[in-house]
Each structure stands twice: as C-alpha cells, then as structure tokens.
Amino acid sequence: MKIAVTNPAVARALRLALRGSSAEVYEVPVLKIQELPVDVHEALEALERADVVVFASGRSAYAVRRAAEAAGQAERTRRALAGKRVITLEGGKGAVMVKNAFGVDAEVLEPGALSERVTACVSAVLFHYGERDAGIAGQLAARCGEVREFQPYQALPDPSAVERLSALSPDVVIFTSALAARHAASTPSSLEALKRARVVAAGEAIAAELRKYGVAVEVAGGRISDIVRYVASLIYI
C-alpha cells in the first residue's frame, strides 16, 4: 500500500507507526511554506483592542506564537487573547493548534459562516492562512468597526510535488491543509489520482475543500495521533 502524505510531520509519525507493515509512506509536500515577518508590537496593539480574533489556520497561530517568542512577547500575547472571542476556520485541527499555541479555546466556524455568526464587533484581528483571503476579510469588515489583518506565512504551490503525486498513483492520500488540498487537485492528472485513491482529511474544513472537486473523502481528527490511528486502522483492519 502506497500512502502519500502532504505534511512532513505526519509522514514521519506514520513511518514510525507502520514499521513492519507492507505500507510505504511517501512525503509529498505540495506547498512550500515560508514564514513572513510579523510586526509583533503592531499585532499586540491590535489584539489588545480587539473583541474578535480569527486564526484562519492552525499554522497561523503557530507562526504568531513563534514571532511573539522571538520578540520576548509570548506571555503578553497570551494575556491579550484571554477572554476574547477566538475563532478558527480550520476545524478541529485548527482549534487544537490554537490551544497548543496560546492555551485558549477557539470556536470552530466554517469560512463562509463568519458574517452569520459574527453579528457585531468593535474590532477584529484576522491572521490569514498561506494566502490573503479577501472573502474572509470582507465578511469581518461587514460586521466589525475595524479589521486588522496579518499574514504570518505564505504557502507557495510546488508544481513538481503535484506531478510526483500524480505519478505515484497512491492508494491513500492524507491532507492536513485545505490549501494543500486545493493545489493537489489543480491538474487533471493529480485530480484523477485523488479520485482513485482513498483520501483522508484532518477535519471537515479540509474535507469540504476536497469535495468541491468531486473527491470522496474520509475525515479523521485534527491531531497527528488521530490521523496515525485512523490510517493504521485501514491497514490493520
């Protein structure tokens, strides 16, 4: 069984868990992640004024935490988030990552539901995922007096990895990012490979992105351990 994984950390965990089995784990990162500089003092000023904070992805929370730690402002950042309405748009996986990063519980919303669920706010802070999403920003702008936007990292597509995914013709493909899922489905050959495979998504938000392309999806939990257990169950069933 050939298993393609777009997240290097998940690939490493699976290799350890599946040692001795017939499964072969292939790391196919279809995105190149590049962290961008964050003006921590500007972000803190915005957070301390805000009543709503949105982390579009769990990775954005981790990137902000690293920037805050590097600036010696980790504790102040945690205090600034305490008591706020904190939202993630990356399902259970995003909520776990926000909790790990800052010790706060994040409300899980679908990206298209912001304007319905955030009915009014004075000031919002939005930490984008790997690209700026004008739709998400627009929903917040329609409900909030001001919206401060930050993009702590960018995710650039890797066409060679998408080609490799197509050529591999995997039996199982695992996604932990909606953006990675979108890029993996961006060519006819890679989309066909996904439709032939058993596709596992780490949460409903990622599954929803894949379903847009007609890919049948199975949903696992957002933690690496959840994904490993789920995939192991496919092999040792």
Domain end point (choices 129, 153, 177): 153
Amino acid at 200: V
**Same domain for 148 and 216?**
no
Q: Which domain holds residue 47?
A: 35-153
Cα(204)–Cα(138) distance, rounded to whole angstroms? 23
Query: What's the confidence (pLDDT) of residue 237?
Result: 54
Q: Tell me which residue of 59, 84, 83 sits closest to 9, measured CA to CA.
A: 59
**Same domain for 113 and 163?**
no
Q: What is the 3-state secondary structure (H, E, C) of 166-227?
A: HHHCCCEEEECCHHHHHHHCCCHHHHHHHHHCEEEEECHHHHHHHHCCCCCEEEECCCHHHH
The CATH number assigned to the domain holding 228 equals 3.40.50.10090
**Same domain for 61 and 141?**
yes
Instruction: Give me the number of domains the chain comprises.
Output: 2
**Same domain for 131 and 196?**
no
Cα(104)–Cα(97) distance, rounded to whole angstroms? 10
Cα(68)–Cα(48) distance, rounded to whole angstroms? 14
Domain end point (choices 137, 153, 169): 153
Judge contact between 25 and 18, C-beta under 8 A: yes
DSSP state of 112: G
- DSSP structure string for 9-61: HHHHHHHHHTTTSS-EEEE---EEEEE----HHHHHHHHHH-SEEEESSHHHH
Domain end point (choices 100, 129, 153): 153
Query: What's the confidence (pLDDT) of residue 90?
Result: 85
**Same domain for 141 and 70?**
yes
**Same domain for 195 and 208?**
yes
**Same domain for 110 and 208?**
no
**Same domain for 118 and 132?**
yes
Over the chain (237 residues), the average pLDDT of each successive run of 10 is: 94 93 94 94 97 95 97 97 94 88 95 88 96 94 96 94 94 93 94 97 89 96 89 82
* Prediction pTM value: 0.81
Query: What's the confidence (pLDDT) of residue 126?
Result: 98
**Same domain for 50 and 23?**
no
